[in-house]
Structure 1
Amino acid sequence: MRGFRNIRARRVIASAVTVAAAFGLAACGTSGPSTTTSAKGLTMWALNDQTILKESVDAYNKDHPDEKITLQLYANDDYKQKLRVAFGANQAPDIFFSWGGGALDDYVKAGKVDALTAAQVKTDRFTPSVMQSATFGGKVYGVPANGLAPVVLYYNKKVLKSAGVEPPKTYDELMTAVGKLKGDGVIPLSLAANSKWPTLMYLEYLLDRTGGTQAFSKIASGDATAWTDPTVTKANQYLQDLAKAGAFGNNASSVNYDQGASTALLYTGKAGMEVMGTWEYANLVKAAPDFVKKDLGYVAFPALTGGAGNAKSIVGNPSNFLSLNASSGHKSAALTYLKDYVLDDSQVDAYLAAGSVPPVNGLESKLAATKSSDKAWLTFVYELVQNSPSFQLSWDQALPSDQADPLLTNVDKSFLRQIKPEQFGANMSKAGS
């Protein structure tokens, strides 16, 4: 996401600040900044829901009392503006937090960020598909700082069994499941269409499954004409076919995610399935722990028979990142922090204990040894990401900020079938020109 328009931040507020911290999704605060101060040393800016990340700063400061990190934590909206102004005035912090993608690339293109090598920060310890969101021109410009958040398909085991439905592995099976669940009197797919971004998740996956990762990569590279590619039209057709089949019920446009309504439809048995990011797991644990233990299931988003995309590819939020200001006067200390304290063993353990999987390779033994009730979930997420050849950053983060509003508006129009499938691409091509 460019321009630090963090739409996804608002998604996590619905649960709790601690949930946002666990799953690495920046939630909007109500005030800020809050500060962990030091007499001298380097500065670092992040968001005020990053509690586990803050622990890494505390650990570094304990070991380096003569060159501590002064950490300032901001509310999301304050942070976006503050960082832009600071870079414009050459007063940005030594280390700064971002969402990767287009937002980070803007600063890279402006020469504001240092590239990071494997020798400097051990980048080879991180999941390769996650690193794509902080890699530009073959160079790495950020270190992952929190948990993975791919989008998956959740389902209510009891509801699916009642309707004689197996968890769908293909789009055709999904359409069949829609018919059976609808016939059984439940909403096939819970969708908070009023919030618009949950609908975007479907289009992201449908385009990836239809045209492969290269379809959106062309768009993200700045080629506005790529919106008119036939695969974009086809993906919109698949979305409209789902809506026309009654996949989302009759009132999806009145359902708002922040109020927890779409989550409740799943665990109360009024809906059979829901496509949502991994932060939804924590929401479900908090709202309906018995449901999670007995009736919650989850699988990867269905494959598309005949599509050019790899069925193992995923979309969502790979991670948030920490980057090094090219003008920093404390680069050696900053690199020490990024190399030895960000997602080290204690940080990895903290995220796993919170029900979140950090983007670090080689977690098999830790997952096998964990006695957490979330073991199956953690293993599922880890293997999903490890086996994925591509982890596509959500479009509303990957695209320039001036395209975010047109994107969500046109996704909603396509979902409501107010525009033809091909019109979506035509509209977005104009917005991106």
Structure 2
Amino acid sequence: MERSSLSRRNFLNLAVGAGAASALAACGSSGPGTSGGGSAGAATYWYLTGQPGEGIRKNTVDRFNKANPDSKITGTAYQNDAYKTKIKTAIGAGQAPTIIWGWGGGGLKSYVEAGQVEDLTDWFGQNAAVKDKLFETSFGPATINGKIYAMPAETVAPIVLFYNKEVFQKHGATPPQSWGDIMNLVTLFNSKGVAPFSLGGQSRWTNMMWMEFLFDRIGGPELFQGVFEGKPNAWSAPGAKEALVELRKLIDANGFVKGFSSITADSNADQALLYRGKAAMMLHGTWTYGSMANDGGNFVKDGKLGWMNFPGVDKGKGDPSNTVGNPGQYYAISSKATAEQKETAKKFFKDAVLSDAEVKEWVDSGAIPVAKSSQSMLGASKDAEFLNFVYDVSTKAKSFAQSWDQALSPTAAEALLDNIAKFFQKSIGPDEFISNMNGTIGK
């Protein structure tokens, strides 16, 4: 249940999409699990189409191959949905490429449980410089049962609270510093005929962001960690019901724009409500900054867009610096690859992935790569203020939780999104939500 297009993660470059490339753009003829037709160390690598990501990935492979002519990597690019189907089938058949591109979390966990990917814990221990150059917060979705099974890579995109400065100023409001402030702002903006929060609720995962933050702020990150680890009745852990009760209060208080359950995020209609002043605030991924800058006239250019991390909840266990969203993308190594291919992949991770050249390409595309070296490159951007904010949120978070629908198995994620939609439509309450979700643990 990942976001339907990776372009949303590259939040400043909106002139892209899954349709930017063909369904299958093969860069070589080698099949899955083969040596690539060259030396014993030649490796294979599957990844996603869509610019700018596809071009950056290919450039990284090309630089590596030029420097390592005797152990080249053959890259093959697939569109998002086609890739998910093909990689699942290949891994199930023991025919995976040497390097497996993915989102970490639930998908990676299933590979680990099936014995299909390499344990990289010792390798990272022996290559401390590689680990140290990456955001510490990026390792969560790469870590299963305390061991690291993937290389954090590419870009980061936390969920943040956006607000319309012009609307706030017009009604004498200030950005919320607590959950109590949020509820007070709901009352204020409703009295002024302005929707407190925009929400593309038909997309379901947009509703999930609210639940993620309230679970974290009230119960702490360990609350969902118990769900991820498959602990029995983990959805009943302390803080869960309290978070759901608070969220229900927000829904009952008309905190969201009227008709939110029929608004889609893919259409960007939720963003339009914010930049047109029809809604005062919006909880969303940092990738929406680019589309608001592109579609919202001078809204972003004129400094009318505000942003902040989600505020804390009084007496809650979660640290206000915590965030949720996409901590990165993840490269695993097939356990079925030859020893020589595995060494090629590890050399690729060490020398090519998030090299200075690749980091610059991601930054130039308007994204924040999960490399500490990216900070020094942000100042030259016209969006430096926002990019530095995203960098700080991503690196200073005491916990950066992966989006729940990516952290869980596909079966559990679908049940989660279905129950979240029912909760927001008020067809089920906190107790039924908890009971329903406890029934999905382990599935």
User: TM-score scaled to structure 2, two decimals?
Assistant: 0.90
What's 2:32 paired with? Answer: none
In structure 1, how many angstroms separate the alpha carbons of the residues matched to 2:268 and 2:232?
35
User: Are the counterparts in 1 of residues 164 and 277 from structure 2 also a CA contact under 8 Å?
Assistant: yes
Q: 1:411 to 1:217 in 2, by over 3 A?
A: same
Residue pair 2:7, 2:18 contacting (<8 A) in 1 also? yes
Deviation digits for residues 320-348 of structure 1, max 9, x if unmatched?
Answer: 11111122221222111111111111111
Deviation at 1:281, TM superposition (A): 1.1
Q: Matches of residues 9-408 of structure 1 in structure 2 within 5 Å?
A: 9-10=4-5, 12=7, 19=14, 31-37=22-28, 40=38, 41-49=42-50, 50-51=53-54, 52-116=56-120, 117-118=123-124, 119-120=126-127, 122-288=130-296, 290-294=298-302, 295-329=304-338, 330-367=341-378, 370-408=379-417
Deviation at 1:403, TM superposition (A): 1.2
1:207 CA displacement: 0.4
| 1:257 partner SS | coil
Between the aligned partners of 1:14 and 1:228, the Cα distance in structure 2 is 32
- The CA deviation at 1:230 is 4.3
Query: Taking structure 1 as reference, are residues 61 and 17 closer, same or farther at Cα in structure 2, changes over 3 Å only?
Result: farther
Q: Secondary structure at the match of 1:158?
A: helix
| Cα contact 2:153–2:330 (8 A) shared by 1 | yes
Evaluate the alpha carbon distance shift between residue 344 and residue 284 of structure 1 in structure 2; reply closer, same or farther with a 3 A threshold.
same
Deviations 1:35-80 (A, max 9, x none): 2227532100111123222221121122223332111111122112
When residues 28 and 322 of structure 1 are mapped into structure 2, their CA distance, relative to the original with a 3 A threshold, is farther
Distance 1:256 1:158, change over 3 A: same
* SS, match of residue 293 in structure 1: coil
Which amino acid is 1:372 matched to? S
Shift in Å, 1:105: 1.4
Distance 1:210 1:427 in 2: 21
**Which shifted more, 223-232 or 199-208?**
223-232
- SS of aligned partner of 1:404: helix
Corresponding pairs, count? 422
Residue type of the alignment partner of 2:23 = G
Paired residues of 2:10 and 2:366 also in contact (CA < 8 A): no
Q: Give the superposition deviation at 1:30.
A: 7.8
Q: Structure 1 residues 66 and 17, CA, compared in 2 at 3 Å: closer, same or farther? A: farther
- Output the CA distance in 1 between the equivalents of 2:105 and 2:401: 10
How far is 1:352 from its partner? 1.5
**Please, which runs of 5 or more residues in structure 2 have no aligned partner?**
29-35
2:326 and 2:118 map into 1 onto residues whose CA distance is 23
Report SS of the residue matched to 1:148: strand
Kindly tell me: are residues 104 and 152 of structure 1, through their superposed partners in 2, closer, same or farther at Cα, counting changes over 3 Å? same
Structure 2 distance, partners of 1:311, 1:426, is 28
**Distance in 2 separating the partners of 1:163 and 1:142:** 48
Question: Residue in 1 aligned with 2:431?
Answer: 422
- Partner-residue secondary structure (3-state), 2:439: helix
Structure having the larger proportion of residues in helix: 1
Q: Distance in 1 between matches of 2:372 and 2:330?
A: 16
- Aligned-residue CA RMSD in angstroms? 2.2
* Structure 1 residues 326 and 14: alpha-carbon distance in aligned structure 2, compared to 1, 3 A threshold: closer
Relative to structure 1, is the Cα distance of residues 405 and 28 closer, same or farther in structure 2, using a 3 angstrom cutoff?
Answer: farther
CA shift at 1:189, angstroms? 0.6
Taking the aligned partners of 1:268 and 1:110, their CA distance within structure 2 comes to 49
Cα distance between partner residues in 1 of 2:218 and 2:20: 38
Shift of 1:249: 2.1
Q: Is the 8 A contact 1:13 1:20 kept in 2?
A: no
In 2, distance between residues paired with 1:247 and 1:211? Answer: 22
